[in-house]
Every structure is written in C-alpha cells, then in structure tokens.
C-alpha cells in the first residue's frame, strides 16, 4: 500500500527504489524460509490447484496491465502473487507443472539470460538507426533475430564458460580482462567521436531536455490556479492533462496576438474530470502536479466554468479518456449549455526517456555547428513527419468522428505542428530554439512559436 500511495506522486523513484520493492523481496525471502524449514511448510498443503490459479493471475496481467499504471502498486501485485502461488503449491499433478516443464519452455528458460542481454542491444540499435515507432513486422523480425543470436551465444559461449573442465581460472581472468579493455576502448572512442550526446549548442538549441522540462514545470507552478479577470472578452476554459497545459501556454504566452480572448485552465485527466470537479482526487485521479489548494482550485473552476464562453478539451488522449468523453463529459458540458471545442492528439515523435533525448538530439549529435544548414534542418523536419505514428492519426480520426456525431467543433493539432503539403514537422523555432523537450510536449519557446503559427493560420477559428 505504501508503494501504491508513494507512486502516485513519485512514479519514477517508486519504480527504482529499494523501499518500494522491499515487499516483493520480502515475499521471496519468506517463501524461501518456509520451504527450507524442517517441517517443509508447503508439503502440508496439497492445493496444487492454487498454482494453476497463480498461472491465471500471471496471464491476466498481460491484458490488465498498461503503461499508465503505477508500478509497483496494489494493482500490479497480481503477477507477484501469481508467481508466489506457483512456487508454493506447484507439483507434478498440476497443469502449471506440465506447462512450465514442457521442452519448449524449458529451453527458453535455458537461453533466457542470453535473451535478456541481447534483446536490449538489438532493439536499441534498431531504434537508433530507424527512429520512430517500430511496427509489428519489424518487431517479429527483431524477436526472431534475438532468439537466433541468443541460441548461438548460449551454446557457443555460455555453456562453455559454465564448464569447469573447459574453462580454467587463468583463461577466465584473461577473458574478463580483454573484455574490459575492449569495452573501455569503445567507450573512449565514442566520447572522442561525439557519439554520446553532449551539451552542444546549435543556434540556441539546448540538449538538456530535463532542464527544459523544469522550465515548463516552473511555468505551471506560477499558473496552477487560473481565473478569468475580464468577462467582456471571449473566455475560453481549457480542460485536460499536460497537453492541455501546452495549449494554455500557447495562448497565455501570446496574449498580444489573442487580445480578444482570455484563457483559463483546469488540470485533469479527461476520464477523471467529473470526479476532480467534485474534489475527488483518489488513486489514478490524483492531481497531476505537485500539491495545490484543492478548495481554491474548485472555487476557481466553478467561477471559470460558469463564465466560460467556450470549453476546449485538450489531452494526450487515452482509450479511457475517449470512452468517458462521449459517455459522460460531452453530455455534462452540453447540459451546462457550453460551446465545446475538441482538439486532437498532438503528433508524437521518437523519444528515449532513459537518457533522455529526442529525435532532434539524435540527428544533431554528430553534426558540426557549421554544417547545420537550412537544408539539414528541413531534412530533419521531414524525418519527423514520416515518423508520426499511425496510431495517433487513427485516434485523431476517431475523435473527429465523435465530434461530428455530437455536433461539436474539432481542431487538429497536426495542422499547426506540421505542414502536410511540404511533408515536414517543425522542430526548431525561427529563433533557433528547440520546440520539444520530449516526444510531444512543447518547450516554452516552442509554445510561443506555435502561438504565432496558430494566429497566422487562423487555427482557432470559432465561427
């Protein structure tokens, strides 16, 4: 329960920290202790059917878990509990025993260490050469390649190194020493040739995406609770998650261009909107950013929703968001007699979260400053255009269908993010600043840039 509660605020630390994982490790220790006890604890219980139930829990996890779930947490403990049940109660009479002891699975278990080592290398290399989403066919090819290489390395390298008769201590020491020398040599070569991301400056481009994200967060901290101040203007309330914040930044940072409008924002997941406005912030529907005075937030929202001329729904749309949108959110806002504007998902590009670096960083890392020409930038922008995932575009089409069915205005973000005729998506502002700090969120300079484009292209056409 502590992991579940802690993860709602510090998801990344929760995933990697020992205190959050302590209960999983403790569970394994308890199982080992009970199994080794003199009374052989598990032999007293013949509920081998519980091991089958454990296998069901593990298979259920494949369909139940999603990328949005906090881990570890109560919801993601099913696989851990299932594993514990298999260890406790598995015996030769159970289906689980017969399934897991089948020759194909036993062999996969033997080569599993090689699979674990090789899969990351192969997939990472492929993504560095071909940035963007990896489609199903390529994934299957890469999986097959991973198995082939793993089988080879298991039989040629791993089995031989486990054979004490074949590998002497002296040979083992020499092999490890040579491996370290080779790895260090490659490391030095990479650094000297600029293959690792460095703090290079191209025009005004900042490669420190974490620093750009912090500037973005600071802007949120200054405008957590917003409230209309001039009711004579056209008041627009933006509702949604971090992508709604991007939309708010676009207009808030370009006030001179949109003088007839005033904008306010309410931060929420669309699927949690009707809960959050009642001040219910539990589990997945917790507040999106650091702590806020929820009573002040509720009062500001009530004032804004009562005085809003338009409500803009903007989000990084999830499946649950879309379901709630048509079933609950749109009917609720229509009941308030609000004019609704629905915006699409923003195009997503390649982003390596662990580094972190964007597709732009990836393409610029080996380019010298003097070689960064207008043509080079256009080539990078065209690469971004073709890397936009089909999933995003199909989801946008689905949102458009919903808007037509409910007779509400629909605005596609790709119409200001990209140029369809020239087949390119801008990633550098006219002042030479980076537009994205990850795969889809706009930097502060990026928001300013898109605001000008929206104004020029009359994207926010309310007629």
- Work out the percent of the chain whose per-residue pLDDT is above 90: 37
Over residues 111-134, the mean pLDDT reads 79
**By three-state DSSP, how is residue 418 classified?**
strand
Q: Does 90 score more than 80 pLDDT? A: no
* Mean pLDDT, rounded, for 336-351: 89
Q: Does the structure show a pLDDT above 50 at 199?
A: no
Residue of higher predicted confidence among 305 and 75: 305
Residues 6+ apart with CB under 8 A from 312: 236, 237, 238, 239, 240, 244, 247, 341, 343
Residue 15 pLDDT exceeds 80: no
What domains lie within the chain, and their CATH numbers?
A: 2-101 (no CATH), 109-192 (no CATH), 205-457 (3.40.50)
Place 34 in a pLDDT band, splitting at 50, 70 and 90: confident
DSSP per residue, 293-356: -HHHHHHHHHHHHHH-SEEEE-----HHHHHHIIIIIHHHHHHTT-EEEEE-PPP---EETTTT
Q: Which of 27-31, 139-143, 252-256, 263-267 has the lowest mean pLDDT?
A: 27-31
Which residues, including other chains, have CB under 8 Å from residue 157's CB and lie 6 or more apart? none
Inter-residue contact 448 to 253 (CB < 8 Å): yes
Give yes or no for residue 317 having a pLDDT over 60.
Answer: yes
What is the average per-residue pLDDT within 111-118? 92
Q: What is the pLDDT of residues 382-391, one digit of tens each?
A: 888 888 877 7
C-alpha torsion angle, residues 83, 84, 90, 96 (rounded to 10) = -20
Average pLDDT of the segment spanning 15-32: 77
pLDDT reported for residue 194: 47
Of the spans 21-30, 155-164, 292-301, which averages the highest pLDDT?
Answer: 292-301
Q: What is the mean pLDDT of residues 182-201?
A: 61
Categorize the per-residue pLDDT at 232 as very low, low, confident or very high, splitting at 50, 70 and 90: very high
Examine the pLDDT at 193 and tell me if it is beyond 60. no
198 — pLDDT class (breaks 50, 70, 90):
very low
The region of weakest confidence among 256-265, 342-351, 439-448 is: 342-351
| pLDDT, greater one: 153 or 127 | 153
pLDDT over 90 at 325, yes or no? yes
Output the pLDDT for position 123.
Answer: 85
Share of the chain above pLDDT 70, in %: 83
pLDDT at 62: 80
pLDDT class of 201 with cuts at 50, 70, 90: very low
Which pLDDT does position 121 carry in this prediction? 87
pLDDT digit string, tens, across residues 141-180:
999 999 999 999 999 888 887 777 777 778 778 888 888 8
CA–CA separation, 215 vs 420, rounded Å? 31
């Amino acid at each position: 329960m502590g992991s579940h509660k802690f993860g709602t605020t510090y998801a990344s630390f929760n995933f990697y920290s020992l205190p959050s994982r302590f209960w999983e490790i403790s569970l394994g220790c308890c199982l080992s202790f009970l199994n080794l006890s003199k009374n052989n604890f598990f032999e007293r219980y013949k509920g081998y059917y519980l091991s089958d139930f454990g296998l069901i829990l593990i298979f259920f996890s494949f369909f139940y878990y999603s990328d949005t779930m906090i881990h570890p947490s109560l919801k993601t403990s099913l696989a851990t509990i299932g594993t514990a049940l298999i260890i406790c109660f598995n015996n030769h009479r159970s289906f689980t025993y017969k399934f897991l002891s089948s020759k194909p699975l036993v062999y996969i278990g033997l080569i599993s260490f090689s699979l674990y080592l090789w899969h990351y290398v192969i997939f990472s290399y492929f993504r560095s050469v071909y940035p963007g989403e990896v489609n199903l066919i390529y994934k299957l090819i890469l999986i097959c390649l991973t198995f082939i290489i793993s089988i080879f390395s298991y039989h040629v390298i791993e089995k031989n190194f486990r054979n004490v008769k074949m590998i002497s201590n002296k040979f083992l020491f020499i092999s490890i020493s040579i491996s370290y020398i080779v790895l260090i040599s490659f490391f030095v070569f990479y650094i000297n040739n600029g293959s690792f991301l460095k703090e290079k400056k191209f025009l005004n481009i900042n490669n420190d995406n974490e620093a750009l994200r912090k500037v973005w967060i600071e802007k949120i901290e200054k405008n957590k609770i917003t409230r209309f101040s001039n009711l004579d203007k056209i008041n627009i309330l933006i509702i949604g998650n971090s992508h709604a914040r991007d939309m708010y930044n676009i207009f808030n940072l370009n006030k001179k261009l949109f003088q007839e409008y005033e904008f306010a924002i309410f931060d929420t997941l669309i699927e949690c909107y009707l809960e959050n406005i009642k001040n219910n912030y539990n589990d997945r529907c917790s507040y999106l950013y650091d702590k806020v005075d929820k009573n002040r937030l509720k009062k500001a929202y009530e004032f804004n929703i009562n005085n809003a001329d338009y409500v803009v729904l903007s989000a990084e749309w999830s499946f649950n968001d879309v379901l709630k949108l048509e079933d609950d959110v749109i009917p609720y806002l229509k009941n308030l007699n609000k004019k609704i504007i629905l915006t699409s998902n923003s195009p997503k590009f390649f982003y390596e979260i662990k580094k972190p670096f964007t597709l732009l960083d990836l393409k610029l890392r080996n380019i010298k400053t003097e070689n960064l020409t207008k043509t080079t930038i256009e080539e990078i922008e065209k690469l971004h255009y073709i890397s936009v995932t089909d999933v995003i575009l199909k989801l946008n089409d689905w949102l458009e269908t919903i808007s037509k069915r409910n007779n509400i205005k629909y605005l596609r973000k790709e119409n200001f993010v990209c140029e369809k005729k020239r087949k390119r998506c801008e990633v550098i502002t006219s002042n030479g600043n980076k537009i994205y700090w990850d795969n889809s969120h706009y930097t502060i300079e990026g928001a300013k840039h898109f605001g000008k484009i929206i104004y020029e292209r009359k994207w926010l056409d309310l007629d």
